[in-house]
A and B are shown apart, each in its own frame.
Chain A
Amino acid sequence: MATLPEEIKAAMQGVIPSHVVTCAADGTPNATAISQVYYVDPEHVALSHQFFNKTVRNVRENPRALLWVISPLTLDSWDLEVEFDHAETSGPVFEAMDMQIEAIASIVGLKGIFKLKSADIYRVASVTRNVGERIPLSDIVEPRERA
């Protein structure tokens, strides 16, 4: 079990989409973008289960998942190794996620389509801040077309 650092909360506000990678029992990986990883407590996060998609099916066969999140404040990104623990269909985490999803759906004109089935709770197994993948701000240059 690992503990989430305080600064990772900024990466879990849904400003920049996150990524999730899972793996079926037959060894086939699955990769998809998700709008938000929800902070539950220092050792748990939640993902929304709205449709019975491949991510949902995979973690019920093989509980391991990899979450990538990025902070819009610092552009620090983290890899979280997590394990599916259980699904909640009521309670404060479910209610908070349901309200947030309804609000977003309403804003984009899709109210009623993105119905939350459960808040899937994951244990955080490891947290790795990705280092050395970003160019310092002072060194960034606009892309140029090459001949």
Chain B
Amino acid sequence: MIADFDATRGLTMIPDRVVEVLNGPAIMFVGSRDAGLRPAHTTAVGAVAYEDRQTVTFFVPESRSARLLSNLRDNGRIAFDFGLFSHEAYQLKGVYLSSRPTTDEDLARQEAYRKKLVTAVRQAYPEELARPLVLGLGYHPGIAVTFRVEEVYLQTPGPGAGTKMA
């Protein structure tokens, strides 16, 4: 059960540019926490924002999902950070809705994401690092985690980092 789910909170619309970055070659990872407020980290391999602009699904390797799912079933709180190599970055905060094993459709999204990401990383790092760094991260079998976005923050490094956008 999600302990602090609040259905009365206002709806948040993810801005256009944030959706673009989410769909681009972004590095992405997930923050969660347990009942004792101990934070946890999980790398995500691809994500999708739905047409309602309020719901996002991200994909994590099953091998790294146990602690994340335990935390989400305990309290539901998610912080999802993603950014481009230009350092443009955003953070979505929200509440867990569901999880399931990844499907063929998810895998197709992940393949497209990995292709975009490795192309971008190859511009910043030498091939002998870029290829294993991106393509060497396990992603299948995977878990798709869906959450409802409640807050959107600018994370690009600088004085404006942390500004609430929505």
Given contacts A33-B27, A132-B63, contact A72 B129 (CB under 8 A): yes
Partner of A31, one of B37, B80, B137: B80
CB < 8 Å A-B pair total? 138
The residues in B between 139 and 158 inclusive whose CB is less than 8 angstroms from any CB of A are: 153, 155, 157-158
- In the bound complex, CA of A68 to CA of B78 (Å): 17
Tell whether, in the assembled complex, residue B38 and residue A23 are in contact, meaning their CB atoms are under 8 Å apart: yes
**Residues on B with beta carbons closer than 8 Å to the beta carbon of A62:** 37
**Residues on B with beta carbons closer than 8 Å to the beta carbon of A137:** 132, 136
B32 contacts the other chain (Cβ, under 8 Å)? yes
**Residues on B with beta carbons closer than 8 Å to the beta carbon of A6:** none
Residue in A closest to B140 when the chains form the complex, CB atoms: A135
What is the distance, in angstroms, from A108's C-beta to the closest C-beta of chain B?
A: 9
Chain B binder among A39-47, A88-96, A116-124, A139-147 = A139-147
What's the dominant secondary structure at chain B's contact region? Answer: mixed
Given contacts A22-B39, A31-B79, A132-B138, contact A140 B132 (CB under 8 A): yes
The residues in A between 25 and 58 inclusive whose CB is less than 8 angstroms from any CB of B are: 25, 27-33, 35, 51, 53-54
What is the distance, in angstroms, from A56's C-beta to the closest C-beta of chain B?
A: 10
**Residues on A with beta carbons closer than 8 Å to the beta carbon of B75:** 27
B22 contacts the other chain (Cβ, under 8 Å)? no
* B interface bracket (residues with beta carbon within 8 Å of A): 35 or more
Given contacts A53-B162, A135-B136, A143-B135, contact A33 B89 (CB under 8 A): yes
What is the distance, in angstroms, from A78's C-beta to the closest C-beta of chain B?
A: 10
Tell whether, in the assembled complex, residue B41 and residue A68 are in contact, meaning their CB atoms are under 8 Å apart: yes
What is the distance, in angstroms, from A121's C-beta to the closest C-beta of chain B?
A: 18
A79 contacts the other chain (Cβ, under 8 Å)? yes
**Residues on A with beta carbons closer than 8 Å to the beta carbon of B111:** 143-146
The residues in A between 8 and 31 inclusive whose CB is less than 8 angstroms from any CB of B are: 16-17, 19, 21-23, 25, 27-31
- In the bound complex, CA of A81 to CA of B1 (Å): 26
- In the bound complex, CA of A92 to CA of B139 (Å): 42
Given contacts A23-B39, A113-B158, contact A33 B104 (CB under 8 A): no
Contact with B along A123-137 (1 / 0, CB 8 A): 000000010111111
What are 13 inter-chain pairs, A to B, with CB distance below 8 A? A22-B31, A22-B39, A23-B33, A29-B77, A31-B31, A31-B80, A32-B81, A32-B161, A33-B81, A33-B89, A53-B161, A140-B131, A146-B108
Q: Which B positions have Cβ atoms within 8 angstroms of A? A: 4, 27, 29-33, 37-41, 43, 61, 63-64, 75, 77-81, 83, 89, 91, 93, 104, 107-108, 111-112, 114-115, 118, 129, 131-133, 135-138, 153, 155, 157-159, 161-162
Please give 16 more A-B residue pairs, beta carbons under 8 A apart, in addition to A27-B4, A29-B93, A134-B136.
Answer: A21-B79, A22-B39, A25-B37, A29-B31, A29-B78, A33-B155, A51-B158, A51-B162, A53-B162, A62-B37, A65-B39, A66-B31, A134-B138, A135-B137, A143-B114, A145-B111
